[in-house]
Amino acid sequence: MSFIGKESVEKSKFTFDAFDNLFTVPMKRLLITGCNGLLGSELIERFSERFIILGLDFESPLGKRWKCQFVEQDLTNFEGLKSSFAEFAPELVINAAAFTDVDGCERDRKRAWEVNVKGVENIASICSEVGCKLVHISTDYVFDGRAGPYSEEDPPSPCNYYGMTKLEGERVLGRFPLDYVIVRTSALYGLPRGGKKGFFGFLLEGLSRGEVVYGFIDQFTTPTWVGDLVKGIMEAVGERGIFHISGGKFLSRFDFAQKVAQVFGYDPNLVKPEETASVRFVANRPPKGGLRVDKARRVLGYTPHSITEALETIKKERDEGER
């Protein structure tokens, strides 16, 4: 089975018009998995006025302002998942849950497979059974990172176990009669509403304390503001196939960290250049990853913000105490 490179010719049956009149069109029911995570928590924040939402994750939400119903549920528990679906009856599911610790996946391969492959299979099987649209989130780590940024037509070939499980997670979707779209993204940044810091949170924290932080000069990617990703997901929801949704700029992690320091008013000299080989990671890292967004621009009209614009928005929200 291969859907790589297939242009989205067949439209999804799922329709959602962002300009629907709230008073005349009933709100659709949206289930978001991984709702405590960076993406999941942003989805809830941005979609809560347009959808009735059920958030699903391991534990009760960590954030302060939750605008959804919530269920504690492990994706790998098929029967539990099935009853959560039956009770809520979603029309749309966004699977933002994953085992995202790249080194952790290498160490605990069994768990990585359980969550990133079996968990996706569980969701796909239930969505297929109840006729529910599925948006599945994947990653540029499905590519080996020798020749990025990558388009949807490029053949995937992961260089670590996280990437392998995420690729297999994409592939299991094709085994079900299912209306689905895969949204791949890369190097996600933003202030998490769910409370988990992620690389960006740690970077900001270090810089704000005047600590030295390290940025890899030999790891290139297309950093993606979570606000752009949410918008791209909304634009892709009525499509099928694969869409790359990321930032439009290809740069090293060192250059990105310097940009963060500049926009947030911290000393850019705190960011020190580092080579990947000097750190003993458990898993391989793609040196030239990242995604091309030409298809999303063409088909969806997707337009990512510049890194400076995105960082300024994050800073403004932080300074105004929105997070």
Taking each helix axis as running N to C, give the angle between helix 119-130 and helix 161-173, from 0 to 180 degrees, rounded to the nearest 10: 10
Q: How many other CB atoms sit within 10 Å of the CB of residue 322?
A: 12
Give the separation between CA 166 and CA 178, rounded to whole angstroms: 18
Q: Which stretch binds ligand NAP (CB under 6 A): 85-93, 97-105, 142-150, 278-286?
A: 97-105
**Cβ at position 134, least distance to ligand NAP in Å:** 13
Q: Does 97 bind ligand NAP (CB under 6 A)?
A: yes
End-to-end CA distance of the chain: 43
Closer CB to ligand NAP, 58 or 202, in the complex: 58
Q: Does 190 bind ligand NAP (CB under 6 A)?
A: no
Task: Out of 160, 185, 219, 258, name the contact with ligand NAP by CB under 6 A.
Answer: 185
Both structure tokens of 46 = 């941005």
Q: Which stretch binds ligand NAP (CB under 6 A): 22-30, 32-40, 172-180, 289-297?
A: 32-40
Q: Does 76 bind ligand NAP (CB under 6 A)?
A: yes
Q: Which residues contact 275 (CB under 8 A, 6 or more apart)?
A: 216, 217, 218
Q: Among candidates 148, 175, 145, 179, which has minimal Cα distance to 276?
A: 145
**Cβ at position 309, least distance to ligand NAP in Å:** 19
Q: Which stretch binds ligand NAP (CB under 6 A): 95-103, 235-243, 287-295, 308-316?
A: 95-103
Q: Does 294 bind ligand NAP (CB under 6 A)?
A: no
Q: Which stretch binds ligand NAP (CB under 6 A): 84-92, 184-192, 247-255, 266-274?
A: 184-192
Q: How far is CA 173 from the centre of its chain?
A: 17
Q: Are 2 and 170 in contact (CB under 8 A)?
A: no
Hey, which residues does 70 pair with through a beta bridge? 55
Q: Does 139 bind ligand NAP (CB under 6 A)?
A: yes
Q: Which residues contact 251 (CB under 8 A, 6 or more apart)?
A: 220, 221, 222, 223, 259, 307
Closer CB to ligand NAP, 20 or 125, in the complex: 125
Task: Out of 55, 61, 90, 119, name the contact with ligand NAP by CB under 6 A.
Answer: 119
Task: Out of 51, 70, 85, 99, name the contact with ligand NAP by CB under 6 A.
Answer: 99
Give the separation between CA 64 and CA 200, rounded to whole angstroms: 20
Q: Does 236 bind ligand NAP (CB under 6 A)?
A: no
Burial of 78 (0-12, 13-18, 19+ CB in 10 A): middle
In sign, the C-alpha dihedral spanning 121, 127, 129, 133 is negative
Closer CB to ligand NAP, 110 or 265, in the complex: 110
**Cβ at position 110, least distance to ligand NAP in Å:** 13
Sites of contact with ligand NAP (CB under 6 A): 34, 36-40, 57-58, 74-76, 96-100, 115, 119, 137, 139, 166, 185-188, 196, 198
